[in-house]
Structure 1
Amino acid sequence: MKKVTHLSFKHSKTLSQLFWKWFWLTFLVVSLAYAWYSFYVPSNDVAWDNRITSTEMLTKQTNKNTLLFFTTDWCVPCRIMKRNVFADKAVMQRVNKEVTPVMVDINNPNTKELVTHYQIGATPTTILVDTEGTVLDYAVGKIEKKKFLEMLNNLNTIK
């Protein structure tokens, strides 16, 4: 009987080791996939202007409404939004046609006036402003494509 118990214990130890090897391997693969998902941002054809650093420059830039997208390098929800919203062909076409898109890096010391003026406390923050710099619509946090398109649609009813 002792041999059976000993073999049974050895067999369960091997199963336990095999389980944990597969567990950690799966954990590693899932973690790497999530990291890639969080940081991968495909290129897009949105004509972002990142040179606008003040409200004065903003109002003199164009006669179209302006999309202000407040972001930063370390913002994972910003990257996901860039990938899921702004990389979409329909969104790219509408943004380039209907508004002047401005990407504002909140960590850039030159953009402090815009960040302060619009009271940005979190990223991503998406703001639509008119030619005078008045806020027409805004969203704080990551938004999906549908919500973003609703914001653009609302611009047409405000005019």
Structure 2
Amino acid sequence: MKSLFTFLLILGMANAPQWQLNMEQAKTEAKTNHKFILLNFSGSDWCGPCIKLKKEVFESEAFLSYADKNLVLVRADFPRSKKNQLSPQQTTHNESLAERYNPEGQFPLTVLIDASGKELKHWVGYPATLNVQTLVNEIDAQHAAAH
């Protein structure tokens, strides 16, 4: 029974949207599939609110289900621990994203972007009022305004 549950859990996660690391690929996918891009700036190994936001919102079944249909997910991570360091190419890519979308270096920062790369909305930190439903409602409002 336990192995069946594990198998079903893995199977369910296999269909979950994956966080991408490349903005240009995300733009192409967003244009092709008529989706917005959700870019998350994170300090995965040092930023408490980043870790909490990821666990409580971005890894929730409700968010993943919504994202699968409506979003291309991109993560720009800035880990500090030596064991979690990114490749030099990824670090450079994330820094260029930060120059454009996060010049003040806020963590976490989540940015809603259209397929052309234009910022539509952003959320700074992980405020108590931000949950899956409020995030989805705000993204849907942007989608309705764009169409």
Classify the TM-score, shorter chain.
0.5 to 0.7
> Which amino acid is 1:137 matched to?
K
Deviations 1:113-148 (A, max 9, x none): 110011252111010110111111111111421331
RMSD across aligned positions (CA) = 2.0
Match of 2:94 in 1: 111
Deviations 1:79-132 (A, max 9, x none): 101111112211111011101000111452331111001125211101011011
| CA distance, structure 2, for counterparts of residue 62 and residue 153 of structure 1 | 15
Deviations 1:55-79 (A, max 9, x none): x555334312100011022111011
Does structure 2 conserve the Cα–Cα contact (< 8 Å) formed by 1:71 and 1:78? yes
> Counterparts of 1:9-158 in structure 2 under 5 Å?
45-50=16-21, 52=22, 56-63=24-31, 64-73=35-44, 74-106=46-78, 108-118=91-101, 119-143=103-127, 144-145=130-131, 146-158=133-145
Q: How has the CA–CA distance of structure 1 residues 94 and 72 changed in structure 2, closer, same or farther, with 3 Å as cutoff?
A: same
Q: How has the CA–CA distance of structure 1 residues 100 and 112 changed in structure 2, closer, same or farther, with 3 Å as cutoff?
A: same
Does structure 1 conserve the Cα–Cα contact (< 8 Å) formed by 2:20 and 2:26? no
Select the structure with the greater relative contact order (CA < 8 A; seq sep ≥ 6).
2
Instruction: Quote how far apart the aligned CAs of 1:46 are.
Output: 3.7
Q: TM-score, normalised by structure 1?
A: 0.63
The runs of 5 or more residues in structure 2 that have no matched partner are: 1-12, 80-90
The runs of 5 or more residues in structure 1 that have no matched partner are: 1-43
Does structure 2 conserve the Cα–Cα contact (< 8 Å) formed by 1:68 and 1:128? yes
| CA distance, structure 2, for counterparts of residue 91 and residue 58 of structure 1 | 18
Q: TM-score, normalised by structure 2?
A: 0.67
Q: Identity percentage over the alignment?
A: 25
